[in-house]
Amino acid sequence: MTVPNIERILANLKGFQRDAVEHVIERFYRAPGGSGRFLVADETGLGKSVVARGVVASAIAELQHVQHVDRIDIVYICSSTDLAKQNLQRLNVTGDPHVGITSRLTLLALETRHLVANPSMSGKKVNLVSFTPGTSFEMGWQTGSQEERQLLHILINGMEPADHALERASALFFQGGVTSLERFQMGIANMRATLGTGPDLVIQREFAKAIDVKGLRQEFEEFRSALMDVQAVPPELRRKIMELTAQLRGVLAEASVESLEPDLVILDEFQRFRHLIDPASGSPASELAHHLFNYPDAKVLLLSATPYKPYTTAADDSEDDHYRDFMTTLEFLTAGDREALERIRVGFRDYRHAVVAGLEAVREAEALRNELLPYMTRSERPRLEEGRDLHVRRVVSEVPTVDDLRDFAALQRFARQIDTRVSLDYWKSIPYFASFMEGYRPGERVRHEIENGTATTELNSAIARLRSIDADAVRGYRPVDYANARLRAFAGETVERGWWRLLWVPPSLPYLVPGRVYAPFSDGAVTKRLIFSAWSGVPTSVASLLSYEAERRMVSASALTENTAEARRAASSRLDYVVREGRTASMSTLALFWPHPGLAELGDPLTLATDVGPVGADTAAARADERLRDLADGSDGQGPETAAEAFFAWPGKWPDGMQRRSDVAAYWLAGRGGGSGDAGAEAGRALKDHAKAVLEQSTAALWHEDLSLLALHSPGNIAYRALARICDNVDDMRVDLWRAAARLANGIRTLFNRFDVQFLIDQLYGHEQPYWKSVLDYCADGNLQSVLDEYCYQLKLEMGGSAVDANALAQITDRVVEALTLRASHYTARSMSNNFERMPITVRFALRYGNSVGDAETVRAPEVRNAFNSPFWPFVLASTSVGQEGIDFHWWCHSVVHWNLPSNPVDFEQREGRVNRFGGHAVRKNVAAAHGHTAMTGVEPGRHPWDCAFAAAVDRPDLGEFSPWWIYPGDARVERLIVHFPLSREEAQYERLRDSLTLYRMMLGQPRQEDMMELLRQRGVSDGAVAQLDLSPPTIRGGTLRGTAV
């Protein structure tokens, strides 16, 4: 185990974060009479997981000297696997590989061999175990997963197969939905082999004891006997078997808790599973969770920006009592200390009376702060102010067309036929509602009627009148109307503005003057769009229509007129490696994607731009060409015929210390073993033949007129430079760097090898020059070097900003490649004109995040989030507000689109908090605008230009400690985009919400909040006239931390 470097980890925290860490550790381990429970409620986007990282590191240091702790178990509980994947890497402070275990609690017996204490000279073993309540505490589907049932079989029957008949009967009992008994038994055999010496002894012991005490073993054996001589489970026994299986799973979960020895339990965004902290709920899930919370000496850290509903309306109160929820949270944090709870209640009462009476309430606010600080802290950035930090834009759609209004009338006729309701808001929000109504009651009703042949003539007539996507138009790449006034307005800002020509977002800090493709978008206005809607049909509909139109325009100038899988496959891939008649025919392609360290250094656009800032691509090429001519071998003979020949002859193409073998080169150039998607062994052999030709070519500094373009703009060299800039010791990492750059370059090859991208490049640059030169032109036009530098710098920051070693370099490369090679999704629409026909629509430009219909999109959510947090497509991400707490979307997006207004002012901040975060896109734009010239002209060798830019921006103490990473002045601001119909009720609704934003923070812990807010409005009380409740952590550092308000 590697003991974390506490000081280094804490040094990477910002001041308020370090204060929070120190305060939590003080309450956990040093303060007498502490509850051992604490809530960090920092505002959305301020890095609660980073604070948790500091707490984890400090807790490990504290526990190193506690003798009865032989290993350190940290349990991380969060609402989704995507959130776990995002944050587990941050919490792994030891740097040890494979430290994280993400599993169901019931499957912990498969993992506990990793938990066993393994004392070493360097420190105690640290285990980081992650669970989600949905799979670990809630039993959900009675029979659970196949793996759970196989484990139950082994726990009951033992590691060695028992009597064959008993084994078979037990397997039949636990088979569940597995298609065949033989397949289930094979899984049991594989699990036994994996377990080796068997499941965890503690789990075995506790499980056996519990099923005996509860009589479940006897009940199971009776069922097993009944299944001895049957081929399948009799129908009359199925329900009882399911019920007993559910009980056995519950016992297994309880036994699994006993095998953990939690020292620190972290509940992230716990408001999503608040019932776990409430023992009064009486739920089995709560009882199970409290086994963890109440483990001797265990500490519990809660993380949530909204651990209680900060503001409720009168309508909300009947279902979600804010005051009760808040007091339940405090009861948990105080570990039931009645005296402490009463003092807090009195503090809130006194503060309320002072505020309502029109007093400044300074004394009352301070008294309440002192009562709450032992249990919670909350830091907030200064409020976003319209016109300064926040740009509010109301995009008023055009008046609905005649066809739009006819569609609404047709939907109402259709609704009457199926005796259900299609609300006005469905029509206003969901383009082509009829095509995307699956998952809604009208869609399910009509599908049932059609599939069962029970649709009446009247219903069929009503269906035929519904407006739906024209399947023939989609198949023929013909224009499809947006069919919705909101979507027309939004498309006018994205696709219709020409964003379909952009393969990546323009850089914040360009080294070159943008070329003709990117010049129209060089005003800094382009940022990705994050759409939030109240309706689950909006993400699929909006993503489908925007993506279709973007792709249609990309291929519009080509000969492709058929939008089918077959037609797409028939489009040639121009960047494949091909051998014709025994000769390598793709050396120019290979020159694009081969990292050439020697030429990468000579053609670095950053060094060419350092004197006067950004220069034109032609000027950069002329300067690079001058460098190459000065170094080229003087020869009166004939020069190389091709740029590729000169490229591979130039010295420095292969890193010292790496085996000079063609198969080694081909392995990495193919994306580590062919991850690029090249089919079959033939493509691999062709690449190996090309690599062999490169390595056999003699070395000479040969000049060619296009060599400077390859040195400057080839994706291989761009990748090499971008990764080299984030490495702390390039000289010691030459081999790892070349391998990583080759993999990254192959990801870029995958991008430019897509059929739609090829047709786009043709449309932009014509057919007069070879495709590889058009790729170079596009990389120059779009400043791909600047883009990748910025992206890799962000990835390094996400890993804590520490030194990048070979392992970290590989992880960063993986992230970039995953974003570049994200597979297209296929969403389904329905055509009303063709008997409810299912119609697949390929989506890339815009995607949905999350999906209520099935699990496939949920599994894909981390990939989608990673791609949206890259400069590459998707440019639009559409989602509902549900379940997005804690998820980062801010890297290349600072615009939130409120497709539907939220009902609560807090939801505005929750939504916009997804993009108003550390080092976000708006912040980087402003830092680059203010200090970009310094970053380029003053960059020292080995120092990243973004380090220089932020170092210059830090020297602004007048902006406070939230600057520059969260707030920095400039033209780029977080954008609140309200899309609504003209003269609609949304205008007045937004004004009410905006007014509420200024007062709701004073409502914390107060009953009947809406009444209190209305009273304050009537009395003209503003938030600035009353002392705010300051829950910022006490300042541990030198100096004074400015208080932040709740």
157 with 276, same domain: the answer is no
pLDDT at 939: 75
* Whether residue 166 sits in one domain with residue 114: no
Report yes or no on 936 lying in a domain: no
1020 pLDDT more than 70: no
The more confidently predicted of residues 1021 and 926 is: 926
Query: Is residue 727 pLDDT above 80, yes or no?
Result: yes
Q: What is the pLDDT of residues 605-624, one digit of tens each?
A: 998 876 667 889 999 999 99
Q: List phi, psi (to 5°) of 608.
A: -80, -20
Alpha carbon distance 396, 381 (integer Å): 31
- What is the per-residue pLDDT for 944? 93
pLDDT of residue 321: 62
Mean pLDDT of 528-553: 96
The yes-or-no verdict on residue 97 having pLDDT over 70 is no
What tokens appear for 934 in the block? 């310094």
- Give residue-wise pLDDT tens across range 296-321: 899 999 998 877 665 555 555 444 46
Least confident among 525-539, 716-730, 841-855: 841-855
Q: What is residue 336's predicted lDDT score, i.e. its pLDDT? A: 87
Are residues 608 and 626 located together in one domain of the fold? yes
Return the minimum-mean-pLDDT range out of 3-12, 382-391, 800-809: 382-391
Model confidence at 564: pLDDT above 60: yes
| Residue 589 in domain | yes
If you ran DSSP here, which 8-state letter would residue 504 be given? B
- Identify the CA nearest to 669 among candidates 721, 724, 743, 738: 743
Please state, in angstroms and rounded to a whole number, the distance separating the CA atoms of residues 524 and 506.
8
The phi and psi torsions of 630 (rounded to 5 degrees) equal -65, -30
Angle, helix 235-259 to helix 201-213, in steps of 10 degrees: 130
Same domain assignment for residues 1014 and 1003: yes
- Do residues 938 and 613 make contact, with C-beta atoms less than 8 angstroms apart? no
Sequence-distant (6+) residues with CB within 8 A of 991 are none
Q: pLDDT for 883-939, tens place per residue?
A: 566 688 999 999 999 999 987 777 787 888 888 888 999 999 999 999 998 888 877
Supply 976's token pair: 């609140």
The structure's pTM equals 0.84
Domain that holds residue 72: 6-137+259-312
- Reduce the DSSP state of residue 128 to 3 states and report it: strand
pLDDT (tens digit, 9 = 90+) per residue, 121-151? 567 888 888 887 665 555 455 678 899 899 9
Closest CA to 592 of 851, 832, 335, 771: 771
Residue 57 has pLDDT above 90, yes or no: yes
Task: Calculate the alpha carbon distances from 925 to 510, 516, 683, 871, 922 in Å.
Answer: 11, 21, 42, 14, 5
* Residue 921 covered by a domain: no
Determine phi and psi for 206, rounding to 5 degrees. -65, -35
CA dist 152 and 165 (Å) reads 17
Alpha-helix runs per DSSP H in 430-536:
441-451, 457-465, 471-475, 485-491
Q: Could you tell me where the beta strands, DSSP code E, fall in 452-596?
A: 528-533, 579-580, 583-584
What band does 67 get if pLDDT is binned at 50, 70 and 90?
A: confident
Residue 878 forms part of a structural domain: no
Residues 164, 244 share a domain: yes
- Picking from 215-224, 631-640, 716-725, 833-842, which range would have the lowest pLDDT averaged per residue? 631-640
Please, where are the H alpha helices in 112-199? 133-136, 146-157, 164-174, 181-195
SS (H, E, C) 849-903: CCCCCCCHHHHHHHHHHHHHCCCECCCEEEEECCCCCCCCCCCCEEEEEECCCCC
Share of the chain above pLDDT 90, in %: 49
Residue with tokens 């954008």: 975
Same structural domain for residues 360 and 377?
yes
> Are residues 667 and 753 located together in one domain of the fold?
yes
Q: Where are the beta strands (DSSP E) in 410-561?
A: 528-533
User: What's the rounded Cα separation, in Å, for the pair 355 and 364?
Assistant: 9
d(CA 386, CA 392): 7
510 — phi, psi (to 5°)? Answer: -70, 140
CB distance 1046 to 1000 below 8 Å: no
d(CA 703, CA 694): 17
Residue 1029 has, within 13 A of its CA and on its CB side, a CA count of: 29
Q: Does 452 fall in a domain?
A: no
Question: Would you say 815 and 795 are in contact if contact means Cβ atoms under 8 Å apart?
Answer: yes
Beta-bridged to residue 72, according to DSSP, are 126
Neighbours of 187 (CB within 10 A): 17
What kind and span of H or E run contains 1038? Answer: none
| Residue 287 DSSP one-character state | H
Q: CA–CA separation, 272 vs 79, rounded Å?
A: 6
Of 451, 473, 469, 460, which is closest to residue 540 (Cα–Cα)? Answer: 469
pLDDT band, very low/low/confident/very high, at 385 (cuts 50, 70, 90):
low
For position 478, what pLDDT does the model report? 96
Residue corresponding to tokens 């063609």: 662
Relative to beta strand 71-77, strand 100-102 is unpaired
Q: Supply the mean pLDDT for the chain.
A: 86
CATH of the domain at 98: 3.40.50.10810
> How many domains is the chain built from?
4
Query: What does the pLDDT look like over 146-185, one tens digit per residue?
Result: 998 999 999 998 866 668 889 999 999 999 889 899 999 9
How do strand 825-831 and strand 837-843 relate by DSSP bridges? antiparallel
Same domain for 212 and 120: no
C-alpha to C-alpha distance for 196 and 83, rounded to whole angstroms: 32
Distance CA 139, CA 254 (A): 12
Please indicate, yes or no, whether residues 338 and 303 belong to a single structural domain of this protein.
Answer: no
The CA distance from 818 to 866, in Å, is 8
- Is 954 a member of any domain? no
Contact 796, 891 (CB under 8 A): no
Pair of tokens at residue 37: 């429970």
- Residue written as token pair 């007062």: 999
Is the alpha carbon torsion for 578, 583, 586, 591 positive or negative?
positive
Phi then psi for residue 805, to 5 deg, are: -100, -170
Residues in contact with 754: Cβ distance below 8 Å, sequence separation at least 6, in sequence order:
none
Torsion of CA 881, 887, 892, 895, to 10 degrees: 30
Task: Quote the pLDDT of residue 637.
Answer: 57
Task: Work out the pLDDT band at 601, boundaries 50, 70, 90.
Answer: very high
Choice among 237-251, 701-715, 856-870, 986-1000 with the minimum mean pLDDT: 986-1000
Q: Which of 785, 820, 855 is the last residue of a domain?
A: 820
State pLDDT tens for residues 448-486: 888 788 888 888 888 888 999 999 999 999 999 999 999
Average pLDDT of 252-267? 87
Q: What is the pLDDT of residues 352-364, one digit of tens each?
A: 888 878 788 889 9
- Residues 424/433, Cβ–Cβ less than 8 Å: no
User: Which residues are within 8 A (CB) of 315 and not within 5 positions of it... i.e. 6 or more apart?
Assistant: none
- Asked if 742 and 594 touch (Cβ cutoff 8 Å), the reply is yes
- pLDDT in the model for residue 840: 92
Per-residue pLDDT tens over the stretch 656-700 = 888 888 888 888 988 874 344 444 566 778 999 999 999 999 899
- Mean of the pLDDT values across residues 944-964? 84
Domain boundary residue, one of 765, 794, 820: 820
Angle subtended at Cα 790 by Cα 784 and Cα 795, rounded to the nearest 5 degrees: 120
The string of pLDDT tens digits covering residues 8-25 is 888 888 889 999 999 999
- Is residue 244 assigned to a domain? yes
Percent of the chain's residues with pLDDT above 70: 87
Cα end-to-end span (Å), the chain: 40
Do residues 725 and 944 lie in contact, with contact meaning Cβ atoms separated by under 8 Å?
yes
Most confident of 164-168, 553-557, 798-802: 553-557
The residues that bridge with 390 in the sheet, in sequence order, are: 386, 974
Asked if 769 and 628 sit in the same domain, the reply is yes
Residue type, 184: F
Peptide bond into 964 cis (omega under 30): yes
Can you give the C-alpha Rg of the chain in angstroms?
31
Judgement on whether residues 610 and 714 belong to the same structural domain of the protein:
yes
Question: Could you give the CA distance from residue 439 to residue 830 in angstroms, rounded to a whole number?
Answer: 12
Task: Average the pLDDT over 572-595 and give the result.
Answer: 91
Cβ-based burial of 370 (10 A; exposed 0-12, middle 13-18, buried ≥19): exposed
Cis-peptide, bond into residue 199, ω within 30° of zero: no
pLDDT of 216 strictly over 70? yes
- Same domain as 339, residue 277: no
| Residue whose tokens read 């006819």 | 406
Asked if residue 710 belongs to a domain, the reply is yes
Of 770, 802, 820, which closes a domain? 820
